[in-house]
Each structure stands twice: as C-alpha cells, then as structure tokens.
Amino acid sequence: MQNKIWFDEVLQLTKTLVGIPSISPNVEDENKCADAICDLVLKPYENEKSPDVFSEFWVAEDGRKNFACLLKSKKKSSKTIILMEHFDTVGVDDFARYGNVNLAFQPDALADEMKKYFQAKDILDSAEKLAWTHLQSGDWLFGRGSVDMKSGVAMNIAILRAFAKPDENNNRLIDELDGNILLLACPDEETESTGVLSAVPNLLKFREKEKLEYVGVINTDYTASRDENKETRFIYSGTVGKLLPSFYILGVRTHVGEIFRGVDASQIAAELVREINLNPTWMDSWHGKLGNENVSEVAMPPVALQMRDLKSSYNVETAGDAFVYVNWLILQMNPQKAMQMMKVAAEQAIGQVVKRIEESYQTFENMGGQSQTPPEWAGLVISYDELCERASAQLNGEDIKAWILNKVSELIGQAKDSRELSCLLVAELTKLAKLNGLAIVTFFSPPYCPAVLPQENELTHAVSSVLNELGDANIQFRVFFPYISDLSYMRLDHEDNLASLKKFMPLFDLKTKDEVKLYALDSNKLNEIKELNCAVINIGPFGSDAHGVFERIYMPYSFETAPQIIFETIKRTLAK
C-alpha cells in the first residue's frame, strides 16, 4: 500500500457504481448500470481515432443488457482472456433501520449514519461489534454492492483501462501482449443468471466473428473468510454448483375441531425442512488432484429458501397443500442421485408426521379426550416424471406434453417467478392424475447451476507464478469458488446430468405457445456452454456480510492487491 497503483481509481469507480441502484430483477435499473459501465469503460478513449476497442450490448429476452468490450492487441493474436463480472445486487429493505433505504447506495453518508446507529446502542451483538470495529478502522467501505459486486466491476474497468491507456509515446500495454482482453459485465446473477446465459451464444458468435481463442475466464465475484482466520484471502479454480429440490405437498384437510381426521400439509412441510436443513449427510464432497497435491472440498449443507402453505385466505381448516424448495450446493452430485435422496427425505417426513399424529391421539385419549380414531395413513411419494405418467394415463390418448403446454399458458400470468410457476403446474398435474390424500411430489425448480471442476491450465499456472513471486502465505489458491456464480455457465463438466434434468424439472426445455422459453437454461443452452468450454478462475475482492445490512469491502486487498494479481496474471498468460 506504500506505492499505490490501483487504489484511488478502484475506490472512486466502486463508489460510483454503488451509487447506481441495480437490484435484480429490475430491468430498468440494471440497464442504467450497464450504460454507466459502458461510459466508464469507453469515455477515456472517445477522442481517440483507433484504439482497437470494440463494444456491444448483448440483450437478453427480457430486455436486460450485457455489456461486452474487446480490447485488441496489435499483435493480431487470437488468444483472449475474458474478464467477467455481474453488476446486479440484492434488495435494500434492511437499510430502513437507518431511516432511509437509499443510504445503501451512498457509502460516505451511510458510514455517518452507521456511526450514529452504533453509538446509540447500549449492547451490540457479535456481528455488530465486528462491523463497528471495521467501520472505525477506515479500511472498510460499506454499502449495497460494495462487495457483491460493484468492487469487482471496478477492478475490471481499472485493469482494462491500464492495458488500453497510451503512454507519452502512444504505446499501449495491450500491444506488448500476445493476446486480447474481453470485458463482460452481466445483469441478473442474483436470480437466474439470465444475463450470462444470454451472453453465452454471443460469446460463441463473437469468437467466430473476431477469430478469437478464449484462453479462459477471470471472474471477480466476491470472496470472504472461510474459517476463523480472518487474514486469509482466496483465489479459486472451479465453482460450486446448485440444485433447487422442490416439494409439492398434499395433506388431508380437516376442521381444527377434528384435527385427528386429517393431516396438516404445513406440518409435513415443517418436518421436511427439519429433515433436510443443515443435514450433514447431504453435504456434497469432492476429492482430486491439483498439481501434485491431493485436494478435498466439502460444500455447505442444504437450507430451505421457502416453506409455505398454499391457503389463499383465513379459515378454520388445516392446510391442504404446501410448497417447499431448498438451496443445495453441489460439487459432483448428479440430479438422479439427488432425486433418490429427496424421495427418502419426503418419505421420512410423512412417517414422522403420521407417528406424531398417532402419539398425540393416544395421549389425548388417555387424558379423557374424545375423537374419532385417526385413519391409517399410507403416504405416497412420487417424482415429477412419475406424476406425468399417472397424469398421462387419464388423458385417453391425448399428448401429455400438449396438455402441459396449454396449462402453462393459462398459469403463466398467475406466477411471480419460475419457482411458483413450477409449483402451480405440478399442482394441476396432481389434479389430473387424481392424486388424493397424503402425498409429496418431488421435482427441481430453476435455477440449476452446474459445478465446474478445478483443473490445471494456462490461467492457473500464471496465477500460481504470481502468488509464488508475491510470497504472501495469506493468499491461497483453492478449488471450488464456494458461492453460486456465473462461472457455472462457462464450461460443462457434467453432461450426463442433462437427461435427469429433463425428467425432473418441469420448466426445462418448455416453451409457451409463442415459443418463449420458460427457463433460459435448456438443452440448446447446455450444448452452447459445452462448445464454449472455458477454463475458469475467480480472483475477487475480499469483504464481509454480502447481501446483509453490514455489507462491506476490505479496501487494502480489494482495491490494490487483487487488481495487481489479475493484472500480472493476464500479462503472464498472454506473454509473447
């Protein structure tokens, strides 16, 4: 930090970008940020005659824009490194505690309000104590998107500028290299990665048009502490994947005065979440080699993202149906095996609820209560493909695919997102299949994020060389970026997952009558990802509390060290 190269520029760029709200999935605001990134990249060169900078907007079907900018070397080399980032953020409702949610986009004003907030509190919890300490240090910048991931965008813009800027003799650094740099800024990483999925075919077309060879992708998504050692910084050579196990639950409605006559769908949902949440047997692991080292990695256990009954209003009737979906980070788990585990968990949840009913009834009866004896419940657990078979049998020869297409066209206006649309479709199929009584349908909802396995390549060799020269033991090269990222769509390492996705994901490969895809990731897209086949690494800023009210970026590493590592990695990868 004594001889700062990047710090001031990355700091200013980060503050500028944080100041532009781009909450996903707000098309207008995300596009304002895309336009701002374009201006920040191109304005320094707008008066130059031929800077060999080519830029385009790649627009997704929903209107959100990716920004792509190619900086070409005069060496006429095809080798190209993709510098990738996303610029959307999550919401800011938590910031209401400071009196104005828009402070989330104003780092300096936010810091002032946070000081007042902390000083006014008598007792701080551990998270607040740490945030207060960091705020007082002056080394941390707070605000929505500060770490996830406007600072990553700022790093890449500063790096691209450095390679493109002419010196006093009109020489550019990029022209000393045997290769080019393609900056790619994407919207919508936080929901279904619509941005990068729409960018994939454009990357293929751009590769053909400009005669490029993609050496690999350097992503700048955020990093954070992995354990109690707060000083360690991480660089990753692969990325974790994700499944979204989903459960449509059919209970048996009953009046609350006769509760032993039915089965509450909400109770089954709660038992299912209890069974799956943080279950260590669901932790996916990977063991392999990186260089000469034996390496192991374990993904975080699953956690429920939604659990709700589907009653539309208040009454004194137990819930007849419910919906649960679960975030499951994966390293090599395939959907077929995952479905088997989901069905076992569903069976166990039903079993536990039936057991609870029997035990409660026995106690109630022993205490002198009067009620009908509970029925002997026989719960059914079936997967989506099995449900479709049952439903098809009721159609008297009509094509089940045509029926689903018609039904989806009716339902699409009722659903707020693809997860709710999946649930509504499954619910209609259970009616067609005449599923009554106690049952759970297991399926996958979007998004599906493929895991990308770590591998040795030109980028990893260059990073290793940079880190060896840097000699900082606190910066470690690891496998599997541990948070969901757009890197999942840069290479396809698990092609065999395609068949089971088709079986178990209702919206996969499904289009409306107007040929609008209901989920951006389909068979064609996976084939495009396979064709793209890029090596990946993640060298991101370091921070804390991403998506939280104390989201913050550690500036010394993020605004100086990390950009320098990326800069040197590019130079060494594209050396003559």
Are 121 and 261 in the same domain? no
Residue 478 lies in a domain: no
In angstroms, what CA-CA distances link 28 with 34, 65, 88, 161, 392?
A: 10, 10, 11, 27, 42
pLDDT in tens, 517-554: 899 999 999 999 999 999 999 999 999 999 999 999 99
Q: Is the pLDDT of residue 226 over 60?
A: yes
Pairing between β-strand 233-236 and β-strand 475-478 as defined by DSSP bridges: parallel
The alpha carbon dihedral of 106, 34, 217, 13 has a sign of: negative
Residue 481 lies in a domain: no
Domain that holds residue 277: 245-444
Per the structure, the count of domains in the chain is: 2
Are 216 and 260 in the same domain? no
Instruction: Answer yes or no: are the C-beta atoms of 447 and 244 closer than 8 Å.
Output: yes
The set of residues, in sequence order, having a beta carbon less than 8 Å from that of 127 and lying 6+ positions away, is 545, 550
Q: Is the pLDDT of residue 163 over 90?
A: yes
DSSP letter at 255? Answer: B
The set of residues, in sequence order, having a beta carbon less than 8 Å from that of 529 and lying 6+ positions away, is 200, 450, 489, 490, 491, 492
Are 153 and 223 in the same domain? yes
Q: Is the pLDDT of residue 48 over 70?
A: no
Are 352 and 391 in the same domain? yes
pLDDT in tens, 102-118: 999 999 999 999 999 99
Q: Which tops the pLDDT comparison, 290 or 172?
A: 172
Name the domain boundary from 444, 463, 489: 444
Q: What are phi and psi of 545, to 5 degrees?
A: 60, 40
What are the residue ranges of helices labelled H in 145-246? Answer: 151-164, 194-209
Please give the share of the chain, as a percent, with pLDDT higher than 90: 80
Q: DSSP secondary structure string, 168-185?
A: TTS--GGGGSSSEEEEEE
Residue 367 lies in a domain: yes
E strands, 13-134, are 53-59, 65-71, 79-86
Are 197 and 264 in the same domain? no
CATH code for position 432 = 3.30.70.360
What residues pair up with 285 in beta bridges, in sequence order? 298
In angstroms, what CA-CA distances link 245 with 268, 427, 502, 552?
A: 16, 16, 14, 31
Are 405 and 262 in the same domain? yes
Cα(291)–Cα(179) distance, rounded to whole angstroms? 26
What are the residue ranges of helices labelled H in 214-334? Answer: 265-276
Number of helical (H) and strand (E) elements in the chain, helices listed first:
16, 19
SS3 44: helix
Are 229 and 318 in the same domain? no
Cα(73)–Cα(573) distance, rounded to whole angstroms? 14
Structure tokens at 371: 């009620």
**Which burial class, exposed, middle or buried, applies to 455 when counting CB atoms under 10 A from its CB (0-12, 13-18, 19+)?**
middle
Q: How many Cα atoms are found within 13 Å in the side-chain-facing hemisphere of 281?
A: 8
Please give the share of the chain, as a percent, with pLDDT higher than 70: 98
Cα(309)–Cα(322) distance, rounded to whole angstroms? 4
pLDDT in tens, 267-309: 999 999 999 999 999 999 999 877 778 889 999 999 999 999 9
Amino acid residing at 168 = E
Q: DSSP secondary structure string, 511-564?
A: B-TT--BSSS--HHHHHHHHHH---EEE---BEE-TTSTT-EEEHHIIIIIHHH
Cα(571)–Cα(576) distance, rounded to whole angstroms? 9
Q: What are phi and psi of 270, to 5 degrees?
A: -65, -40
Amino acid residing at 238 = G
Are 249 and 217 in the same domain? no
Name the domain boundary from 429, 444, 459: 444
Alpha carbon 313 to its chain's center:
33
Cα(145)–Cα(148) distance, rounded to whole angstroms? 5
Are 372 and 407 in the same domain? yes
Quick one: pLDDT band at residue 1, thresholds 50, 70, 90?
A: low
CATH code for position 540 = 3.40.630.10
The Cα angle at residue 398 between residues 394 and 399, in degrees rounded to 5: 105
Name the domain boundary from 377, 411, 444: 444
Cα(530)–Cα(497) distance, rounded to whole angstroms? 13
Cα(565)–Cα(552) distance, rounded to whole angstroms? 21
Are 333 and 266 in the same domain? yes
Residue 409 lies in a domain: yes
ω into 447 cis (within 30 of 0)? yes
Residue 521 lies in a domain: no
pLDDT in tens, 438-475: 999 999 999 999 999 999 999 999 999 999 999 998 99
Structure tokens at 255: 């009046």
pLDDT in tens, 251-268: 998 898 888 889 999 999
Quick one: pLDDT band at residue 376, thresholds 50, 70, 90?
A: confident
Residue 504 lies in a domain: no
Average pLDDT, the chain: 93
Residue 517 lies in a domain: no
SS3 314: coil
Cα(401)–Cα(404) distance, rounded to whole angstroms? 5
Q: What are phi and psi of 55, to 5 degrees?
A: -130, 150
Cα(530)–Cα(211) distance, rounded to whole angstroms? 19
Q: Which residue has the tokens 């395939």?
A: 334
Residue 228 lies in a domain: yes
Are 228 and 264 in the same domain? no
Instruction: Answer yes or no: are the C-beta atoms of 78 and 211 closer than 8 Å.
Output: yes
Q: Is the pLDDT of residue 47 over 70?
A: no
Cα(412)–Cα(128) distance, rounded to whole angstroms? 43
Are 216 and 303 in the same domain? no
